A and B are shown apart, each in its own frame.
Chain A
């Protein structure tokens, strides 16, 4: 066991959650023990400073938000163009595709906002910022996660939110236990799942110091796959994006449940309720990868 006996998987999860909670509104989710509360306060302080620093540069902040807003709109246009040419694709009509688009973009952009900067780990290593993390009494992963908050992603998030409302209205979705429950699970666990992919990729980059492109294939590639109907993929690809990199869980499968659609092979709507398990799976892989990466960085062998 190397690096931090106190930094086991559970500790890392708690710290990561602390980081995410610190990024959210109030710290109502404060840990039980004094130790965690102390770490939480420190993370919250760091995250607050990140928010202030970005808000301080008003013009660049505004242009950054506008840029991600345009990216979101461009991708929305793509969906529109496709369904202008074909009434159905992969078992979805335009309204269903909008809902998939909204959930995929919302969860990915929220994850990008919270932990997207993790793919800058090689830069942190080169600048020596990672070594500075080692000198502080906080977990490395917790510090990496809270080292930045990409508020510019709010542009893309707002596009996704508007599309979500429109899609729900056009699909005439009634507020039942099923739809509200599925929507909540999809947003929360879908975001967690994408966050886990970012962390896994950060862990990989300890080995691939110049591998940002390769690493992004998993995060951005996963996000792209999440935007599609699983049924457009051949079976092996669909299985890959359902059971290996479970991107299909973040948008397509919940959409089937919310709109009452039938799905297909390896794309059963009932699978959608396994989203928390899929997110947990991604996080287990992520933390094992991260841990291995840290050991590799320290040259601890293994």
Chain B
């Protein structure tokens, strides 16, 4: 098969090239919400798209889905131009906006699914099979006959996800899907998405403030800051890149004075007259074992734990480094 430009472009399910969006408001300086962003996402990838509020995440998603026109640069989603081919694109993507519902609040949930099946022109057997599958996996059996407005937040979010995935889209974009959910609801939603991805090779693009979502769901992270790509790689690579420190917490046999001066560590604090002490160290410079040996020379160690880098902290550091 000859390699046409279209075939090359077909390698990426999202292809963003120098994408820029400038907002001009009267009486305020022009703001580049997205500023020359370039990245590709291959089919089947699961990508976390993270950044602070106002970093440009939502603006990017709106340009990927045809809601907003780029000021400059291009975006192609599933091989379509989102602005010119919005309706064709809509058949291939499923989008969950955490804050906006695609369900009909005054109808039983079941009817929302029926209407969406009709909108996406699923034939009756396919609609029935897919709905049954989603109802089972997302545990919505009890809520199907309830009006959407009476659903709890957790129930509604599961229903929103089901609504976005009803037509089996190749690309699923989730904007803050777990916002406000309790621990159990979060866990079951993540389990579902992992399974969906495994079985259908669905591509995921996920924005979130919940780092658990990223850790559980994504194998690649894009960090956006002030409309620019600040990082593109794995989550662990992200932690390494900004040199986030691990923290060794030791419980000692007896009250001990502060463990200052242990090589390559920073003393963070102590509790119980120094029975429990916390030391930060950089895993690239020393090891937990080396630090522990040093500590053991000063006092008997009864127990220890190591706190892994908090990914929120990682992101915070990226922002402070780039501003």
Question: Which residue numbers of A lie inside 8 Å of B, CB to CB?
Answer: 1-7, 38, 41-42, 45-46, 49, 52-53, 56, 127-129, 131-132, 134-139, 295, 298-301
Residues in A neighbouring B66, C-beta threshold 8 A: 3, 134
Cα–Cα distance between A144 and B51 once the two chains are bound (Å): 33
Are A132 and B85 interface neighbours, CB within 8 A?
no
Minimum CB–CB distance from B241 to chain A (whole Å) comes to 34
Are B107 and A53 interface neighbours, CB within 8 A?
yes
Chain B 81-103 interface 0/1 with A at a Cβ cutoff of 8 Å (1 = within) = 00111111011010101011110
Beyond contacts A6-B87, A300-B69: 19 other A-B pairs, Cβ-Cβ < 8 A, are A1-B84, A38-B121, A45-B114, A49-B115, A53-B106, A128-B99, A131-B62, A131-B100, A135-B102, A136-B119, A137-B90, A137-B120, A137-B121, A138-B119, A299-B68, A299-B69, A299-B71, A300-B83, A301-B69
Are B93 and A135 interface neighbours, CB within 8 A?
yes
Residues in B neighbouring A53, C-beta threshold 8 A: 104, 106-107
Are A4 and B84 interface neighbours, CB within 8 A?
yes
Residues in A neighbouring B84, C-beta threshold 8 A: 1-5
Cα–Cα distance between A103 and B65 once the two chains are bound (Å): 44
Are A42 and B68 interface neighbours, CB within 8 A?
no
How many contacts A-B (CB < 8 Å)? 87
Cα–Cα distance between A136 and B88 once the two chains are bound (Å): 9
When C-beta atoms are compared, the residue in chain A nearest to B93 turns out to be: A135
Cα–Cα distance between A234 and B80 once the two chains are bound (Å): 55
Cα–Cα distance between A4 and B69 once the two chains are bound (Å): 12
Cα–Cα distance between A228 and B100 once the two chains are bound (Å): 44
Minimum CB–CB distance from B227 to chain A (whole Å) comes to 15
Are B65 and A132 interface neighbours, CB within 8 A?
no
Residues in A neighbouring B95, C-beta threshold 8 A: 135
Are B115 and A135 interface neighbours, CB within 8 A?
no
B111 at the interface (CB under 8 A from A): yes
Most chain A beta carbons < 10 A, residue from B21, B87, B106 = B87
B67 at the interface (CB under 8 A from A): yes
Are B102 and A298 interface neighbours, CB within 8 A?
no
The number of chain B residues touching the other chain, given as a range, is 20 to 34
Are A298 and B69 interface neighbours, CB within 8 A?
yes
Cα–Cα distance between A3 and B160 once the two chains are bound (Å): 25
Cα–Cα distance between A252 and B118 once the two chains are bound (Å): 42
Q: A42-B119, A131-B100 are in contact. Are A4 and B86 (CB under 8 A)?
A: yes
Cα–Cα distance between A45 and B119 once the two chains are bound (Å): 9
When C-beta atoms are compared, the residue in chain A nearest to B89 turns out to be: A137
Are A2 and B114 interface neighbours, CB within 8 A?
no
Are B115 and A131 interface neighbours, CB within 8 A?
no
Q: Which of B67, B101, B106 contacts A134 (CB 8 A)?
A: B67
Minimum CB–CB distance from B39 to chain A (whole Å) comes to 22
Q: Which of A5, A38, A46, A132 contacts B100 (CB 8 A)?
A: A132
When C-beta atoms are compared, the residue in chain A nearest to B101 turns out to be: A132
Pairs A-B, 6 closest by C-beta atoms: A128-B100, A300-B69, A137-B90, A45-B118, A137-B87, A53-B106
Most chain A beta carbons < 10 A, residue from B65, B111, B115, B121 = B121
Residues in A neighbouring B62, C-beta threshold 8 A: 131
Most chain A beta carbons < 10 A, residue from B67, B83, B85, B91 = B67
Q: Which of B83, B87, B100, B104 contacts A138 (CB 8 A)?
A: B87
Are B68 and A41 interface neighbours, CB within 8 A?
no
Residues in B neighbouring A299, C-beta threshold 8 A: 21, 23, 68-69, 71
When C-beta atoms are compared, the residue in chain A nearest to B167 turns out to be: A137
Are B115 and A45 interface neighbours, CB within 8 A?
yes
Are A41 and B104 interface neighbours, CB within 8 A?
no
When C-beta atoms are compared, the residue in chain B nearest to A54 turns out to be: B106
Residues in A neighbouring B67, C-beta threshold 8 A: 131, 134, 298
Cα–Cα distance between A46 and B90 once the two chains are bound (Å): 18
Q: A42-B119, A46-B115, A49-B107 are in contact. Are A131 and B97 (CB under 8 A)?
A: yes
Residues in B neighbouring A49, C-beta threshold 8 A: 104, 107, 111, 115
Cα–Cα distance between A56 and B102 once the two chains are bound (Å): 21
Residues in B neighbouring A41, C-beta threshold 8 A: 118, 121
Minimum CB–CB distance from B246 to chain A (whole Å) comes to 41
Are A42 and B118 interface neighbours, CB within 8 A?
yes
Most chain A beta carbons < 10 A, residue from B66, B91, B115, B118 = B118
Residues in B neighbouring A132, C-beta threshold 8 A: 97, 100-102
When C-beta atoms are compared, the residue in chain B nearest to A147 turns out to be: B104
Cα–Cα distance between A298 and B21 once the two chains are bound (Å): 11
Cα–Cα distance between A1 and B104 once the two chains are bound (Å): 32
Are A128 and B86 interface neighbours, CB within 8 A?
no
Most chain A beta carbons < 10 A, residue from B21, B69, B107 = B69
Q: Which of A127, A128, A135 contacts B90 (CB 8 A)?
A: A135
Are B69 and A127 interface neighbours, CB within 8 A?
no
